[in-house]
Amino acid sequence: MTQEPLFLKPVFHEKIWGGRNLATDYGYQIPDGPIGECWAISGHPHGISVVANGDFAGQDLASLYHDQPELFDNPQMDRFPLLIKILDANGKLSVQVHPGDDYAMAHENELGKTECWYVLKAKPGAYLVYGHTAKSKQELDDEIDNGQWDQLLGKLPVKEGDFVYVPSGTIHALTEGIEVLETQQSSDVTYRLYDYDRLGKDGKPRELHLAPAKDVITVPFTMPSVHQSSEQVGASTVTTLVAPPDSPYFTVQKLTVKDELAQSMGNRPYVLCSALDGEGELEVAGKTYPLKKGQHFIIPHPVADWTFRGDLMLITSFPTPGKY
């Protein structure tokens, strides 16, 4: 049974709203063009991560999940359930909404897409498009049909270190000057409502998806309830950003490591980790692995205990036990 972390090679996606910050901020070798997304831990067919180290080097995460279920606490799900990204918004993303599980499975053969963002960077005055003001489905449909975006769309100011939970059915969009670590269900279903009349590479407006978007938007919008907590462990801090019952699908934590932080698997099936600032090391089964900003890895289920050392900030997550 493997007693090592699974370090993963990220996959990059060009986006009309992307930039070059993923190279300058993390040292990634990114393709030419406006790169908006780093798919850091992914078993989704639109960008599957490959293991970079150890016994499973060269294997992709989707195959490993299927062929080595003991690494993931023998899950019942037929696909890796979570997807971790870094998004670099050099421009505005389209105003969009994601469906829940039932609608997504029925119409797209995908999981639904509930997601959340930890804000890594935000320019002064940065904001998200988040939520809406319509009080009824009829009011929502009318304002969409009439393009009354200023009246309909909510705005949420954000700064570095903020955390935003985005349940399926929530209208949302990043705007320019924001970089986030995104934890989400493993789904690539997005329904665009509004795209600022931008033209795609073909010189034509990008496709909108108004009918399915109207089907899945939650009306009226209510701000999600998210209860956070922090625990001091020596000089280090473990902050739970979201967990059940607020989030049915996953738990997300921020680890601020000062000197040393010991962790144990407990009832978690496995743990997804992204090192987002600082440097240090990870010790697993008596072996140490250097860590630096921009690395992403999975602690598989057979690893009972591990220790972070150094000066590090990580975002970690795991699927809700028994959910998948």
Predicted local distance difference test score (pLDDT) of residue 201: 78
Predicted local distance difference test score (pLDDT) of residue 123: 97
263 and 209 in a common domain: no
Predicted local distance difference test score (pLDDT) of residue 204: 87
Predicted local distance difference test score (pLDDT) of residue 40: 98
What are the tokens at 31? Answer: 């393709």
- Contact in structure between 310 and 280 (CB atoms under 8 Å): yes
Predicted local distance difference test score (pLDDT) of residue 131: 98
Residues identified as active-site? 192
234 and 185 in a common domain: no
196 and 304 in a common domain: no
250 and 207 in a common domain: no
Dihedral of CA atoms 228, 232, 235, 238 in degrees, nearest 10, equals -40
Residues of the chain with pLDDT under 70: none
Predicted local distance difference test score (pLDDT) of residue 324: 83
Residues of 36-68 as b/e, b for ≥16 C-beta within 10 angstroms? bbbbbbbbbeebbbbbbeeebeeebbbebbeee
pTM exceeding the 0.95 threshold for the entire prediction:
yes
Q: Tell me which residue range forms the domain holding 274.
A: 229-319
> Cα separations (Å) of 112 from 42, 116, 170?
15, 13, 12
- Does residue 302 lie in a domain region? yes
Domain end (from 182, 216, 250)? 216
- Does residue 224 lie in a domain region? no
The full length of the chain comes to 324
For 164, list phi and psi in degrees, rounded to 5: -130, 125
CATH code (residue 315): 2.60.120.10
Pure H helices in the chain? 21-26, 61-67, 101-108, 137-145, 149-152, 210-216
Exposed/middle/buried for residue 78 (C-beta within 10 Å: 0-12, 13-18, 19+): exposed
Residue carrying structure tokens 């690494």: 71
Predicted local distance difference test score (pLDDT) of residue 323: 84
Distance CA 17, CA 88 (A): 8
Phi-psi region of 292 (alpha: psi -120 to 50; beta: other; left: phi over 0): beta
87 and 195 in a common domain: yes
Distance CA 272, CA 297 (A): 6
- Does residue 324 lie in a domain region? no
Distance CA 132, CA 130 (A): 7
205 and 233 in a common domain: no
Q: What angle do CA 139, 196, 199 make, to 5 degrees?
A: 135
184 and 129 in a common domain: yes
178-185/163-166 β-pairing: unpaired
Predicted local distance difference test score (pLDDT) of residue 205: 87
- Contact in structure between 87 and 191 (CB atoms under 8 Å): no
Domain count, the chain: 2
Query: SS3 letters for 293-313?
Result: CCCEEEECCCCCEEEEEEEEE
